[in-house]
Chain A
């Protein structure tokens, strides 16, 4: 098991933030950092995923592992993430249906895009497996599946030339913004909530940030010196968010996605703000971790087991939504659901590591698919 570290810690922060923000209307929602900036926890999550891919595809000595191993490792991770998405979608739909039946309340069937499944299960079932039908709040993992699936390409091109990787990634991002390219939804019209063609840039940036900071002390000290710029960007984002100032998508010039704060296309405004967040907070972990060790240990534990924690968090936040709906909400309910949810997330992380640790029965053949707690997550 890895010691608590900055990457796992911030990943844990992103997971907790996503969990709280996925219980809309709850008391704690207004105290997450997402409310006080232009970018939010989703950016953090994807950036750190890119960073960890860099870690995971190198040996302990920092040497790049063989290419085939990288491809197979990331392929296996893609399957894991896809499997997680299919499982949580099935459970979520069953929870929605079960809740509607138990409460005798068909309104619940219209929950965030679930109506499509219950109205037209034949086509929608296909769409779920293809990841083209997504429920509200269950749209991050489809993005993640695509990103991890293309990650072997990112890593291999990155080993060839970092400049080439960045150029390719930026071109795809820019073209998608200008021509409004996105993955389609099906059945039903519209596009993916998280556009992989744009969000890949953040994965690549995370990967490149890790690669270059590992080797170039000059870049590391440059990043340090840019901390004030980061703080200025964060402050600007804070003011814009609090005053609810943002561009009107009908009034901005074409190509309008370049100028709006659009989440689907990761508009430049969000990206710049997020880069500011990274610069502003790059040294924070080192400063606070020794003072809040139990918290750092808890959040790092979540971050180490991000897929399991994210999956459980998605289901727990859905359950919390139903509890809030049926009880009418209120501060007491919010404290209970968020508190027990955080406890359950902590338990999930602990349980995953316990399962990986526990000695196997001697006759069982080694299970290659089981997650190894020693290997960093991709």
Chain B
């Protein structure tokens, strides 16, 4: 994936006004409005099933699950974007993205439905945008954590890779303790099960601090939501392609950036290891 617009100045966030050496560089492979430092973007881990599919030179079947994953038939929709972004990041590979919405809460039975969908689609990779419905229903966090963990384990037990995407950032919930615990829970499960995680929350929070000319008729927060949806496909693609570069023997958590940095700007390497992942 060629780095685009190398010369574009990486606008430092107001909170990160330190000199260039300490501030982490933005991931230049992303389109300008979605640019976020790598550490705010993803946690990497191995993707064995996708790798196997690549080795066998067969199409990679991706199942995209979540609130923005269905109901969108337009060319601009998130699943279509994900497919396009994955295909341009992995040239010569055929990617088939199937998208399904997942009604219901993970904590109360949506995991059952997930199993049915996975059995029906039989994907190599599940990209699961998780937590929104549970957060809206304010389910018990512990039962959410348990159910999510169980679902992730189940998917992995059938030799299918899984990438989690944590919930959206919205300023109206920035101080909401419950919501923050929800986001942390998704991160914890991803870490415990050693699956890649797209830090949608952190990425959007970062983007929210950047000034922009772009407006949304309903105000800043809605613009951010709109942008967040557009960027999510790129961010997920980045996490997937970099996870694919993870070498097999490496322990996923021990050295997540070992080979991942190969495709990233060199400036990102040192600092990204120093930045704590997650919140």
Instruction: Write the residues of chain A forming the contact surface with B, with a CB cutoff of 8 angstroms.
Output: 24-25, 29, 101, 103-113, 115-117, 119-120, 122-124, 127, 133, 136-137, 139, 180, 185-190, 193, 246, 248-250, 256, 260-264, 321, 324-325, 328-329
- Tell me if B224 is interfacial: C-beta within 8 Å of chain A: yes
Cα A186 to Cα B67 in complex, Å, equals 15
Report the nearest A residue to B178, measured CB to CB: A328
Cα A329 to Cα B134 in complex, Å, equals 13
Report the nearest A residue to B118, measured CB to CB: A250
Cα A356 to Cα B154 in complex, Å, equals 54
- Tell me if B272 is interfacial: C-beta within 8 Å of chain A: no
Q: A29-B108, A119-B72, A329-B138 are in contact. List 5 more A-B contacts (CB 8 A).
A: A25-B139, A103-B172, A106-B222, A108-B136, A120-B71
Chain A residues, CB < 8 A from B222: 106
Known: A110-B67, A116-B71, A188-B72. A325 touches B99 (CB 8 A): no
- Tell me if B278 is interfacial: C-beta within 8 Å of chain A: no
Which residues in chain B, 66-120, are within 8 Å of chain A measured between CB atoms?
Answer: 67-74, 76-79, 98-101, 103-105, 107-108, 112-113, 115-120
Per DSSP, chain A at the interface is loop
Flag if B103 contacts A136 (CB, 8 Å): yes
- Tell me if B225 is interfacial: C-beta within 8 Å of chain A: yes
Chain A residues, CB < 8 A from B119: 249-250, 256, 260
Report the nearest A residue to B168, measured CB to CB: A107
Flag if A120 contacts B72 (CB, 8 Å): yes
Flag if A328 contacts B138 (CB, 8 Å): yes
Chain B residues, CB < 8 A from A246: 112
What number of residue pairs across chains A and B have CB atoms under 8 A from each other? 150
Chain B residues, CB < 8 A from A108: 136
Flag if A113 contacts B135 (CB, 8 Å): no
Chain B residues, CB < 8 A from A115: 67-68, 71-72
Chain B residues, CB < 8 A from A25: 105, 107-108, 134, 137-140
- Tell me if B1 is interfacial: C-beta within 8 Å of chain A: no
Flag if A190 contacts B138 (CB, 8 Å): no
Known: A115-B71, A116-B101, A190-B100. A106 touches B170 (CB 8 A): yes
Cα A183 to Cα B222 in complex, Å, equals 33
Chain A residues, CB < 8 A from B112: 246, 261
Q: Which of A24, A106, A123, A180 contacts B74 (CB 8 A)?
A: A123
Which residues in chain B, 139-185, are within 8 Å of chain A measured between CB atoms?
Answer: 139-140, 154, 158, 167-168, 170-173, 178
- Tell me if B274 is interfacial: C-beta within 8 Å of chain A: no
Flag if B73 contacts A123 (CB, 8 Å): yes
Chain B residues, CB < 8 A from A185: 70-71
CB distance from B254 to the nearest CB of A (A): 30
What are 12 A-B interface contacts by the 8 Å CB criterion? A25-B107, A25-B139, A104-B171, A105-B170, A107-B135, A113-B71, A119-B71, A139-B103, A186-B73, A188-B77, A190-B70, A250-B115
Known: A25-B138, A124-B71. A110 touches B132 (CB 8 A): yes
Q: Which of B72, B100, B118, B138 contacts A187 (CB 8 A)?
A: B72
Q: Which of B138, B167, B178 contacts A107 (CB 8 A)?
A: B167
Q: Which of A105, A188, A264 contacts B116 (CB 8 A)?
A: A264
- Tell me if B133 is interfacial: C-beta within 8 Å of chain A: yes
Chain A residues, CB < 8 A from B103: 112-113, 136-137, 139, 193
- Tell me if B51 is interfacial: C-beta within 8 Å of chain A: no
**Interface 1/0 per residue, B223-262 and A, CB below 8 Å:** 0110001000000000000000000000000000000000
Q: Which of B72, B105, B136 contacts A116 (CB 8 A)?
A: B72
Flag if A105 contacts B172 (CB, 8 Å): yes
Chain B residues, CB < 8 A from A189: 70, 79, 98-100
- Tell me if B276 is interfacial: C-beta within 8 Å of chain A: no
- Tell me if B8 is interfacial: C-beta within 8 Å of chain A: no
In this complex, which of A106, A111, A250, A260 has the most chain B Cβ atoms within 10 angstroms of its Cβ? A106
Chain A residues, CB < 8 A from B158: 250
Cα A113 to Cα B139 in complex, Å, equals 18
Which residues in chain B, 184-218, are within 8 Å of chain A measured between CB atoms?
Answer: 218
Cα A133 to Cα B172 in complex, Å, equals 29
Cα A313 to Cα B266 in complex, Å, equals 57
Known: A113-B103, A120-B71. A262 touches B172 (CB 8 A): no
Flag if A112 contacts B133 (CB, 8 Å): yes
Known: A25-B107, A104-B172. A119 touches B135 (CB 8 A): no
CB distance from A82 to the nearest CB of B (A): 20
Flag if A119 contacts B68 (CB, 8 Å): yes
Chain A residues, CB < 8 A from B105: 24-25
Flag if B137 contacts A324 (CB, 8 Å): yes
Cα A117 to Cα B73 in complex, Å, equals 10
Chain B residues, CB < 8 A from A136: 101, 103-104, 133
- Tell me if B19 is interfacial: C-beta within 8 Å of chain A: no
Cα A190 to Cα B79 in complex, Å, equals 13
Chain A residues, CB < 8 A from B269: none
Known: A120-B77, A189-B98. A107 touches B136 (CB 8 A): yes
Flag if A110 contacts B68 (CB, 8 Å): yes
Cα A115 to Cα B101 in complex, Å, equals 10
Report the nearest A residue to B115, measured CB to CB: A249
Chain B residues, CB < 8 A from A29: 108
Flag if A187 contacts B172 (CB, 8 Å): no
Flag if B135 contacts A187 (CB, 8 Å): no
Flag if B108 contacts A187 (CB, 8 Å): no
